[in-house]
Structure 1
């Protein structure tokens, strides 16, 4: 009896040992179940572990799905894989594959946000490069909790999405991207700039609003202090800003040629119809435009019109302004074939 019991125990231990050895082989032998060449994996937000295992099999990153599933279930935490794009090196073990996906940095995407884009244009740019759609980014830009976190009293992050070239993880959430861009503005808007704005009687919102109009009016950095000076002079005199870009913003669509009827549109953003600054920024201004408002050119100019060659003519009187308009029309006519 004792001999039979001892024999059964030895058989059980031997079986357990072989099972453990087999599991260790499945878990840890390099190249047992993975491709011998580099492969790629795309994990979209909301994808579960089983769906990820299916994708690995379809991509031929693995030979047998069940080995990866077993490894992920048996070793806690490995089945948690973040959304992203991954380049998988060859010859990993099942454990090594899941550990790589669990811990490895996702592919990053370099995105340039030029000065002067509206947040809806930034949303489209992000949707074209990252794993998100534009409507979700727009929702994030109006997220009350996110705005409160970054001390924004406006209804959206328009004006605060700081232009620049940045690297984003492909699987970033809209809240993460919007928060990052706002944080870039917060880093730029130092205590000294805040004091400069306060000394001119400008709130954060009014500064960004005026800077956004300057940004939309001219692409020339050297001209921005002059444009800022014109609008500040108009505000001091109680004149309407009459800024075409604010009308474009009120029309809520892609930029187009403005007609006289557009100047009558009933919107608080229509600075032909309403005095003072519009309710908020009309785009996301860059460094040069913000600094131009804080350091405007001190002139008597209250009018300006395009030269037809990329810049603007400036004038102090309506008579000089009309002469500049004549020069613009002449330049435009001369350029026609």
Structure 2
């Protein structure tokens, strides 16, 4: 039996065409509902679609919320809008506005984390440029989940947050930022470096702890292998490290000039009171300090003191060290107004 062709009544066809035209006009006509100037928009993490549309209305990007809400209902995938800071061009249609927000590339911020800063300072730098606070980052870097995921046998990720210049997602989570930095260390710390660490009779925590002390002692990459040799020589002789930066870490707060009374601070991190390495890193060392511990200079040095003009003087004996201290004090007197 032949199928009979069904044709819609002309009034219904006209109504359908009119409806499609109206829908196309509603969705795609530029400037119908949007501002005539560029407008800024900040989308925080976990902000819902309706809240975003509400902010678009408040900041003057759109004249009315309902056309945008209806557009989002027609095309639900446009509800997915990344956290970030947007500058919305003028004269967009309802569809193009949502498509722009939905497809816009991730808002990234380039941040430099210097060598030798501790966990608290990392948190302060990141929170000053990204959309989370320092307390949240501290919590993320100390969470059982992160420590277990990256096999960190410590109370937090101090020492594992590899310094460098990186691009971070502005709206990313503190967990993602902490994990990213630990992964940078994991990528650097190759199997061959793990082999060298084991050959030197150290574990990962010990390596990072000593590297953090070296990092805190000198900013000069050329000096780091020599400084590392001093501490390794002292460890071999079962001498206390007597590293001033460990006392600074034990005292907490802003770094300052140490006094003799500070050297008796009751802390496992105080290497003037306790033999061996402290319980963990005191800052986040850079790659040069880590490699300095794995590839130290071959020296007999057991002591060093600042020159007063940059760098350090090294000594094999206590007598020679005391002479270097005199030189340091003289240099300070010469440079003090």
TM-score greater than 0.5 by the shorter chain: yes
Given the alignment of the two structures, is residue 164 of structure 1 paired with residue 164 of structure 2, yes or no? yes
**Preserved contact between residue 85 and residue 106 of structure 1 (Cα < 8 Å):** no
Structure 2 SS opposite 1:78: helix
1:320 CA drift (Å): 0.5
1:17 CA drift (Å): 5.0
Structure 1 residue runs without a partner (length 5+):
1-8
Find the counterpart in structure 2 of residue 186 from structure 1.
Answer: 186
Range moving further from structure 2, 244-253 or 320-329: 244-253
Find the counterpart in structure 2 of residue 261 from structure 1.
Answer: 261
Aligned residues: 330
Find the counterpart in structure 2 of residue 289 from structure 1.
Answer: 289
Range moving further from structure 2, 34-43 or 312-321: 34-43
Measure, in 1, the Cα distance between the counterparts of 2:206 and 2:298: 19
With normalisation by structure 2, the TM-score equals 0.93
Given the alignment of the two structures, is residue 128 of structure 1 paired with residue 128 of structure 2, yes or no? yes
Measure, in 2, the Cα distance between the counterparts of 1:326 and 1:71: 78
Find the counterpart in structure 2 of residue 3 from structure 1.
Answer: none
Given the alignment of the two structures, is residue 55 of structure 1 paired with residue 74 of structure 2, yes or no? no
Find the counterpart in structure 2 of residue 232 from structure 1.
Answer: 232
Structure 2 SS opposite 1:33: coil
1:178 CA drift (Å): 0.7
1:202 CA drift (Å): 1.3
1:105 CA drift (Å): 1.5
**Preserved contact between residue 243 and residue 272 of structure 2 (Cα < 8 Å):** yes
Structure 2 SS opposite 1:85: strand
1:134 CA drift (Å): 0.1
**Preserved contact between residue 240 and residue 275 of structure 1 (Cα < 8 Å):** yes
With normalisation by structure 1, the TM-score equals 0.93
1:233 CA drift (Å): 0.4
Measure, in 2, the Cα distance between the counterparts of 1:289 and 1:75: 54
Q: Deviations over 1:93-134 (max 9, x none)?
A: 211211221222122111000100101101000110000000
Structure 2 residue runs without a partner (length 5+):
1-8
Measure, in 1, the Cα distance between the counterparts of 2:169 and 2:22: 37
1:283 CA drift (Å): 0.5
1:11 CA drift (Å): 5.8
Structure 1 SS opposite 2:78: coil
Measure, in 2, the Cα distance between the counterparts of 1:91 and 1:187: 46
Q: Deviations over 1:42-65 (max 9, x none)?
A: 111232222211222233222222
Find the counterpart in structure 2 of residue 4 from structure 1.
Answer: none
1:169 CA drift (Å): 1.4
Find the counterpart in structure 1 of residue 198 from structure 2.
Answer: 198
Find the counterpart in structure 2 of residue 321 from structure 1.
Answer: 321
Measure, in 2, the Cα distance between the counterparts of 1:40 and 1:177: 25
1:15 CA drift (Å): 5.0
**Preserved contact between residue 162 and residue 182 of structure 2 (Cα < 8 Å):** yes
Measure, in 2, the Cα distance between the counterparts of 1:335 and 1:187: 44
Measure, in 2, the Cα distance between the counterparts of 1:147 and 1:99: 39
Find the counterpart in structure 2 of residue 88 from structure 1.
Answer: 88
**Preserved contact between residue 211 and residue 293 of structure 1 (Cα < 8 Å):** yes
Structure 2 SS opposite 1:272: coil
**Preserved contact between residue 57 and residue 65 of structure 2 (Cα < 8 Å):** yes
Query: What is the 5 A alignment of 1:1-337?
Result: 15=15, 17-337=17-337
Taking only aligned residues, the RMSD between alpha carbons, in angstroms, comes to 1.8
Measure, in 2, the Cα distance between the counterparts of 1:262 and 1:292: 28
Measure, in 1, the Cα distance between the counterparts of 2:149 and 2:118: 21
Q: Deviations over 1:123-155 (max 9, x none)?
A: 000110000000000001011111221221212
1:89 CA drift (Å): 3.1
Structure 2 SS opposite 1:109: strand
